[in-house]
Amino acid sequence: MTENILQVKRNDEFYYPIVFRKNFEDLSNQLKTLKLQERKCCIVTDSNVAPIYLETVKKELEKVSDTIISIILPAGEENKTLAQIQNIYENLIKAHFDRKDLLFALGGGVVGDMTGFAAATYLRGIDFIQIPTTLLAQVDSSIGGKTGVDFLQYKNMVGAFHQPRLVYMNVHTLDTLSDELFSCGMGEVLKHGLIRDLDYFEWLKENREKVLNLDEDALTEMIYKSCVIKKTVVENDPTEKGERAVLNMGHTVGHAVEKLKNFKLLHGQCVSIGTVCACYLSLKRGLITKEEYESALEALRAYRLPISVQGLNAAEILTATKSDKKMEQGKIKFVLLEKMGYAYIDKTVTDEEMKEAIEVVLEESGEEKS
């Protein structure tokens, strides 16, 4: 990777930068460049991230702001609720935040989604900055302006599109991730290669050892390449009217599994399981070969991702997919591979096909199939 800034555009005009750094020391300079200094700042983070990075980020913001408050949310998907959004609103109101002030999302995808949603709806919209600290957030959720919360255990059912003013990535935050959380992010990374870049997918397979050993150069190149794919798709379709839906490969079944397991499985793990279903359907329709299908499964396994799930059956997973927010006129928009490295949206997948694909991810666990 030769560049350290990606520029996200909207309607062919500059919209916001994605900045790649090895620490937080350039954050204040980036805010000055965007003319976002001398505003009240609120850092939203969670109970896992706050002890590690909150004070460091706060000290950096003190260079450009006289008023900095922080909100520490309880960590975990189960806390991604409207009640916690209300908590953010109350803190902002008490601190007299107005439309010129700033929110900062310091953490993983849950913190990013919630902070973005609070920013989109407080005073009908204020600016916010994404500071993603997990691999999943760095390669996926921090880019593109999707925000939201879960509602009655339905994933991201309430939300808004609200683009950040800056995405600031400190690659070294990955050093503090558990192996499980790192692999969770790889579910989205591998998906990027499958849907838009076969060369990148092959690169991920070839560089597995370096990536899993957190080799700095390999990690930076990987995150950069994933961000290029995500930003390109988002630029073409900022509010998911068409092409952007390909980013949801593995998510229809994945979200259903996530819900039915009461979020005990991580998002990237559920996406991996859903990706197996999508690849299987692509195989059954003659779009990819058996060897290519096995190659996809091998890559998921190589990055310590699950390809099966226990404790569920096909009928209940199929039923859960019907409440997916990506339904359109009663039909599921299922993402399949037209070929390895290129995905498309298919609205013709039948319940029978879906059930057969779901049974594939139940086979290894020995669970019921109906």
Mean pLDDT along residues 253-266: 91
Burial class of residue 205, CB neighbours in 10 A (0-12, 13-18, 19+):
middle
User: Under a CB-based contact definition with an 8 Å cutoff, are residues 157 and 151 in contact?
Assistant: yes
Question: Which of 281, 271, 278 is CA-nearest to residue 303?
Answer: 271
Considering 231, 244, 259, 359, which one is annotated as catalytic? Answer: 244
366, pLDDT greater than 90: no
Please indicate whether residue 192 is annotated as part of the active site: no
User: Under a CB-based contact definition with an 8 Å cutoff, are residues 308 and 189 in contact?
Assistant: no
218, pLDDT greater than 90: yes
DSSP conformation class of 243: G
- The dihedral sign for the CA sequence 188, 190, 195, 196: positive
pLDDT-derived band of residue 365, with 50, 70 and 90 as boundaries?
A: very low
The per-residue pLDDT for 325 is: 56
Chain segment 30-54, per-residue pLDDT in tens: 999 999 999 999 999 999 999 999 9
231, pLDDT greater than 90: yes
Structure tokens at 288: 């990819």
The per-residue pLDDT for 328 is: 62
Considering 221, 240, 338, 367, which one is annotated as catalytic? Answer: 240
Considering 188, 235, 258, 292, which one is annotated as catalytic? Answer: 188
The per-residue pLDDT for 128 is: 98
Considering 251, 258, 259, 292, which one is annotated as catalytic? Answer: 251
pLDDT-derived band of residue 369, with 50, 70 and 90 as boundaries?
A: very low
Structure tokens at 334: 């299922």
Considering 58, 80, 146, 231, which one is annotated as catalytic? Answer: 146
**Cα 306 to Cα 300: distance, rounded to the nearest angstrom:** 7
Please indicate whether residue 96 is annotated as part of the active site: no
Please indicate whether residue 79 is annotated as part of the active site: no
Site of tokens 């927010």: 325
The per-residue pLDDT for 345 is: 94
Please indicate whether residue 248 is annotated as part of the active site: yes
Structure tokens at 322: 């019907």
The per-residue pLDDT for 330 is: 64
Share of the chain above pLDDT 70, in %: 95
Amino acid at the residue 64? V
Mean pLDDT along residues 282-302: 97
Q: Which residues lie across from 166 on neighbouring strands?
A: 129
How high is the mean pLDDT of the chain? Answer: 92
The per-residue pLDDT for 323 is: 75
Chain segment 123-171, per-residue pLDDT in tens: 999 999 999 999 999 999 999 899 999 998 778 889 999 999 999 999 9
Please indicate whether residue 240 is annotated as part of the active site: yes
Q: Which residues lie across from 68 on neighbouring strands?
A: 41
Considering 40, 230, 231, 259, which one is annotated as catalytic? Answer: 230
118, pLDDT greater than 90: yes
The per-residue pLDDT for 12 is: 72
Please indicate whether residue 124 is annotated as part of the active site: yes
14, pLDDT greater than 80: no
Site of tokens 């190589």: 302
Please indicate whether residue 251 is annotated as part of the active site: yes
Please indicate whether residue 99 is annotated as part of the active site: no
Mean pLDDT along residues 105-126: 97
Structure tokens at 256: 């259903």
DSSP conformation class of 70: E
The per-residue pLDDT for 11 is: 74
Mean pLDDT along residues 112-130: 97
Considering 191, 248, 259, 359, which one is annotated as catalytic? Answer: 248
Please indicate whether residue 172 is annotated as part of the active site: no
Burial class of residue 223, CB neighbours in 10 A (0-12, 13-18, 19+):
buried
Considering 170, 267, 292, 359, which one is annotated as catalytic? Answer: 267
User: Under a CB-based contact definition with an 8 Å cutoff, are residues 300 and 272 in contact?
Assistant: yes
The per-residue pLDDT for 2 is: 42
The per-residue pLDDT for 23 is: 95
Query: CA of 314: how far to CAs of 63, 155, 256, 321, 348, in Å?
Result: 55, 19, 11, 11, 19
User: Under a CB-based contact definition with an 8 Å cutoff, are residues 350 and 321 in contact?
Assistant: no
